[in-house]
Amino acid sequence: MENSLRIGVDVGGTFTDFSLIDETSGVAHHFKTPSTPHDPSEAIENGLKEVIEAGFDPKAIRNFGHGTTVATNMIIERKGTPTGLLTTRGFRDVLEIARQQRPHLYDYSIHRPAPLVDRWLRLEVGGRFTADGEELEPLDEDAVRAAAAQFRAAGVAAVAVCFVHAYRFDAHEKRAGEILAEELPGIPLSLSSDVQPEFREFERFSTTTMNAYLTPKMAGYLDRLVQRSCDLGIKALPNTVHSNGGLMSMETAKTYPVRTCLSGPAAGVVGAAQVSTAAGFPNAVTFDVGGTSTDVSLILNGRGAYTPLRDVAGYPVRCPMVDVHVIGAGGGSVAWVDDAGALKAGPHSAGAVPGPVGYMRGGTEPTITDANLHMGRLNPVALLDGTMPVDQAGAKRVIGEIADRINASADETADGIIRIAVANMARAIRSISVERGCDLSEFALVAFGGAGPLHAAFVADEVGIPNVLIPEAPGTMCARGVLLSDISRGFVKSHVMVLEDASWEAILEDAGLLTAQARAWLDEEGVPPEFQRTVRVIEARYLGQNFEVRVEGEMIGKEDFIQSFYRVNDEVYGYHVEDREIEIVNVRIEAIGKIAKPLEEPPAIESAVEDAYLDSRPVHMGEDNGGWCEATIFHRSKLPVGADIPGPAVIEELTSTTVIPAGWHGTVDRWRNIILTRNEG
Amino acid sequence: MSDINAIDMEVFNNRLLSITDEVMNTLIRSSFSTNIKERKDASVAIFDKEGRLICQALYIPMLLSGVMGGVETLIEKRGLDSIREGDVFICNDVYLAGGSHNNDISIITPVFIDGSLEYFIGNIGHHSDVGGVIPGSTDHILTSVFAEGIRIPHMRILREGQLDEDLLYMIAENTRDPMERILDLKVQIAANEQGANSLRKLSAEHGLDRVQRSMTDLLTYTERRMRQRLRELPDGEYTSEVWTDDEGVPGDRIPIRLTVRIKDGDVSLDFTGTGAQAKGAINMGYYPVLAAVFCGINMMVDPSIPANYGMFQPVRIDLPKGTLVNPEFPAAIGNREYSAQRVVRAITLAFAEALPQDRAVAPSADINTGMAFYGKRRNGEPFVYVEAVAGGVGATLYKDGMHGTQVGITNTSNTPAEPLEIEFPLIVREYGLAQDTAGPGRTQGGAAIIRDIGSLVDGVSVSTKADGKRSPAPGIFGGGEGGRASLEYHLADGTVEEIDMFIVDRIMKKGEAARLISPGGAGFGDPGERTAEDVARSVRDGFISEDFAAAHYPHARTKAAE
């Protein structure tokens, strides 16, 4: 049999990561190339060339998926295309008023971001349904044609169509879409009834508008990517990771680019979920520490915790997404003292350039990385397997300067900066766990990103997590996650009504229609029937509440559903109430194409722990962990399965550094993860 | 600066905030009522054993002093010695228990460690109904606190660990939704207990002394930071005068007169000259005044200062008796947020003179106007729907004010049209920004909101008020005032009635509608200095009309014509 290769790519701001599995040999390769922000597909081409030059046959690439920040960056930099909005009369300012809240309680210089469509390009037309679907006023088709003329004259490149109650009564939206398609040939349209047919107009309009805003340039990017990979002789078309950690085809990604806003982090969570579940930790907290920020999220029963709504650069996006919480603390976060004597770490970051003082790229401000250099946790001579020299003396100098300002020793200060950063990270982890009522002592911490493994044990101590898992090549976790992702897409219909026999029948009918849509889509994506799955979720709440719970399952009887609803309320809120009416809100069908291969055990390597031993050096493990101690230093690549390393120790590898404090030890499991565990007693 | 341990202070502050976050999360997650669950109309605070506020979780500035009032008056009235381990207190009363208004019920849990009282943890939540004469309990037309629902002085809801079911039952049955009250109060009690356990655990792990030393450091640091910000302002006396639109009930406007005296890191706010207490429910008890004052001070002096006892120390407040800001019992206080918004306005105006221009903010809509609808749902059950309508935000030196945004002591969300129409027999005919309401200036104020809501059936009652019609947001440094509020009532045949100020309990017929336009934000600086491009963009976007532009920005129109 021929070689069969699967390639996962994650496009980041600084590096584009690749993860490659040769399915015939089971051998995995992980590597990075510098990103090319002007056209991210160029870096992907460069990486694919490396693969081919290494002797792999491009035709052997069977699966090619990628996580991308193209959409997110377009929003952050506001570099989408000029977009028009067509909406119901009386509602053109929905995008501008948002939820009428200000982002900061007291600082009035902090504003909500301006809508993606300027007011003069937000046009209203007559036509109105009530919540029950009664047509109060027919669609004013002439007004739609007039609006089309205005859009044409203004040169918009995409149009969003967002009508009130179109989540269920979409006739006006559909008709307006037809007219616009006639009047504006070649201009992509995003209809709210198609993009995300869920009630609550602001979030739906925002999501739909963002989709329109992203469509032309996302299509251009994907076309360029296909061109480049075809030119290299790769036949597989690139799939794209969506925000809920599944893959979708190029065509779907072109139609719904808004679904890729959390593409990269979602792949990381999927990867972490697979790795931690295989290692015996189906409940875990992901802990991804980069240069400027830390992402944390929950894995519950082997799946990434999900949210139906979150902000992207200040704009709400309603679509299923991994529930990643981001805080402004990373390796490059700057430590500073304010004028009343408080020591802070972040949120300002020195970034990659000028970066930490110790990296010698012009940085002058002390960062978390500099504190780690001072304490000997990071290699004091060079990082990246010796290829990147560092300036430990420079790091020590700036730490000393800040120590003088708070009247502490340099050691106390470096330790203090790390403790403060760890306290910030810990607060974020506690926050996401209490939101869902989780007991962290039953969780593992999955640490990745360049700086995750460096702080993981300390964060675990702070929040009471007993085990830490450091996956292989933690710096390329997101690319690995792409390889472990299935094809998937969520389908939804809002249908708000009190639960009774008739409405239950209506819900089952909706569920049936959505399931048929989901199957049809899986067919289009080329998923064979035996790999197709659907999962049904009904969202419901007590009448009068605005928070719905998710009831998963295929129950047919209304009473069964009610019992499940009670059970979910018990799980989520700690109680249920029997004599209140229940209101159905949404029905969701998740379409899944099981294409991902399960994690395979890596081949054994012939080595002993001694082969991995590099050195020993003084490392400061924190005032509460014995301060300075002589730590043994290992290189990860030579650690055999079963190795057991007592702290204090440091394990170095190309893209990361793992610190094992005294009182902890680290073992290598059969998947080549390092599992850090607190010693008994 | 070496007197504080900067590292421990920051680390422990984070841990304490984790505890208030955790309790707040439990409140939001486990409560039943939408007020707490969705609107986050609740707050959680930790106090040391002397009742000094240490840290707080807060989404709505009006609740800054909510728990604090309960704790301070508890210690003052009951004395620390009367508190036994396992006691938990409940209270809401403004006159007896430092409350905010009757709907906001506090649960205060004293935390004992090794038999001695070491902390208090408390939370406050807005209960949608606490009885009284009107559904929802508060209404600006009420004239006595006795009409505003049940009054609760400090009572033990738990006595040495035992829940007083009788008391809970008595409170719940004095409201219109007893089941909801009982569920939410039990959640408030349980959430505190969770926080108390976390405080005990933190103290056991790190030593009570070390935790308490860090708390003291935090207060020392915060006071020092507040004083430093105040020292940066020129010493002097700064005055302002703002007005209510009425007395809650129709009546005369009431002045709020403020003299701010800044001297070497201290500031006093003297409200001498403020008008007599209102007949209606817009009077303010002491703790609501405190919340409004610190909302203004935080905006002006240090928007991200941690909220704790240290922040309050450099500030002295004088409130003459018998006035709007210090009424005689039993004046009604339920809609204290109306006046609180004007107190914030008075502070922003007075400080505008003291601050460097780049930190001043022009006054905003400064209202908390509700539109209230009562009626029957499709299934015959009664409904009450009340929503505060936002307005325009004042401009700052470099930025136009935000359009249609909640300001000051509130920051609550709107109810989107779709869920509103699904739930009630109402129709949102327009929800948008009002033209020509943005106060002119070098930077202009934010536009006001139009909220036009009709009834799809006969028999829905509507009440609302055009607050800000008589007291628009005044501009600063030459800027113009924000648009005035206005109110119309539309009959089914299209006839429009101009309403002066109030619609009170008007029964709507099918096809009728109330249309409220809230006030706009004020402008900052001379409109003559606004660039022609900015004016043209506002005209293009329809925020201002050609006529408005010609009247307020003639220079720009001339240029555009050229």
pLDDT per 10-residue tile (average), chain A, 681 residues? 81 86 82 88 94 90 91 92 98 97 95 97 98 97 98 98 97 98 98 96 98 97 96 93 94 96 91 94 96 93 92 94 92 94 92 90 95 97 91 97 95 97 95 87 95 97 96 89 92 92 94 96 92 95 85 92 94 83 94 84 83 95 92 95 95 94 95 94 63
Mention every residue, 6+ apart, whose C-beta is less than 8 A from residue B296: B343, B344, B346, B347, B348, B351, B408
What's the number of domains chain A is made of? 5
ipTM score: 0.95
Residue A209 resides in a domain: yes
- Please name the residue of chain B whose CA is at the shortest distance from the CA of residue A407: B2
Model pLDDT, residue A545: 79
Q: Does B406 contact A101 at a Cβ distance shorter than 8 Å? A: yes
Name the residue ranges covered by the structural domains of chain B: 6-222, 357-530
Rounded to 5 degrees, φ, ψ at B11 are -65, -45
User: Is there a single domain that holds both residue A499 and residue A474?
Assistant: no
In a domain, A65, yes or no: no
* Paired tokens of B560: 């555009």
Please name the residues between 89 and 148 in chain B that touch chain A, using a CB distance below 8 Å: none
Q: Which residues of A touch B422 (CB under 8 A)?
A: 131, 199, 496
For residue A198, the SS3 value is coil
Q: Given this model, what pLDDT does residue A476 score?
A: 85
Q: Do A420 and A528 belong together in one domain?
A: no
pLDDT of B562 > 60? The answer is no
Q: What is the pLDDT of residues B52-84, one digit of tens each?
A: 999 999 999 999 999 999 999 999 999 999 999
Which pLDDT score is estimated for A1?
43
Size of interface A-B (CB pairs under 8 A): 209
Residues 6+ apart with CB under 8 A from A222: A238, A240, A250, A253, A254
Averaged pLDDT, B214-222: 97
Cα B220 from Cα B213, distance rounded (Å): 10
Global pTM value? 0.95
Q: How far apart, in Å, are the Cα atoms of B328 and each of A464, A543, B143, B286, B320?
A: 52, 41, 12, 11, 11
**A383 and A495 housed in the same domain:** no
A381 inside domain: yes
What is the pairing mode between strands A628-635 and A649-652?
parallel
> Is B448 at the interface with chain A, CB within 8 A?
no
- What is residue B3's predicted lDDT score, i.e. its pLDDT? 84
Nearest residue to B311 via CA among B333, B289, B295: B295
Yes or no, beta carbons of A90 and B37 under 8 Å apart: no
Length of chain A: 681
% residues pLDDT > 90 (chain A) = 80
Taking only the tens place, the pLDDT of each residue in B231-289 is 999 999 999 999 999 999 999 999 999 999 999 999 999 999 999 999 999 999 999 99
Q: Are A202 and A171 in contact (CB under 8 A)?
A: no
| CATH code, domain carrying A144 | 3.40.50
Task: Using alpha carbons, select from B351, B300, B349 the residue that is nearest to residue B476.
Answer: B349
Q: How many CB atoms lie within 10 A of CB A345?
A: 27
Residue A45 placed within a domain: yes
Q: How far is CA A256 from the centre of its chain?
A: 17
A242: left (phi over 0), alpha (psi -120 to 50) or beta: beta
Chain-chain contact of A99 with B396 (C-beta, under 8 angstroms): no
Both A569 and A616 in one domain: the answer is no
Assigned domain for A136 exists: yes
Is pLDDT at B137 greater than 90 in this prediction?
A: yes
Which residues of chain A lie closer than 8 angstroms to B541, CB-CB? Answer: 118-120
Tell me if A105 and B303 make a contact (CB, 8 A cut-off).
yes
Whether B22 has its CB under 8 Å from any CB of chain A: the answer is yes
- On whether both A398 and A278 belong to a single domain, the answer is yes
- Dist. CA B427–CA B373, nearest whole Å: 12
Q: What is the pLDDT of residue A681?
A: 63
Question: What's the rounded mean pLDDT across residues B6-26?
Answer: 94
∠ Cα A249 A252 A258 (to 5°): 120
Phi, psi (deg, nearest 5) at residue B437:
-110, -5
Measure the CA–CA gap between A240 and A249, rounded to whole angstroms: 6
The chain-wide mean pLDDT, for chain B, equals 95
Q: Are A272 and A299 in contact (CB under 8 A)?
A: yes
Contact A131 B421 (CB under 8 A): yes
Classify residue A172: in a domain, yes or no.
yes
Cα distance from B378 to chain A (closest Cα, Å)? 11
Domain-terminating residue out of A418, A450, A485: A485
User: Out of A93, A201, A437, whose CB is closest to B29?
Assistant: A437
Sheet holding A649-652, edge to edge: A613-620, A628-635, A649-652, A657-660
Contact B10 A342 (CB under 8 A): yes
**Are A56 and A5 contacting, i.e. CB atoms less than 8 angstroms apart?**
yes
A293 and A157 share one domain: no
Q: Which domain holds residue A524?
A: 487-593
Which chain A residue's Cα is nearest to B18? A427
Residue A316: inside a domain:
yes
Residue type, A528: P
Q: Residue A340: which of B221, B295, B427 has the nearest Cβ?
A: B221
| C-alpha span between B552 and B562 (Å, rounded) | 18
Whether the CB of B363 is below 8 Å from some CB of chain A: the reply is no
Same domain, A409 and A533: no
With 80 as the cut, is the pLDDT of residue B557 above it? no
- Residue A435, pLDDT score: 80
Residue B1 confidence (pLDDT): 47
A325 & A457 share domain: yes
Query: With helix as H, strand as E and coil as C, how does B488-532 read?
Result: EEECCCCCEEEECCEEEEEEECCCCEEEEECCCCCCECCHHHCCH
Boundary-marking domain end, from A458, A485, A512: A485
Contact A542/A582 with Cβ under 8 angstroms? yes
Which residue of B21, B37, B225 is in closest CB contact with A547? B37
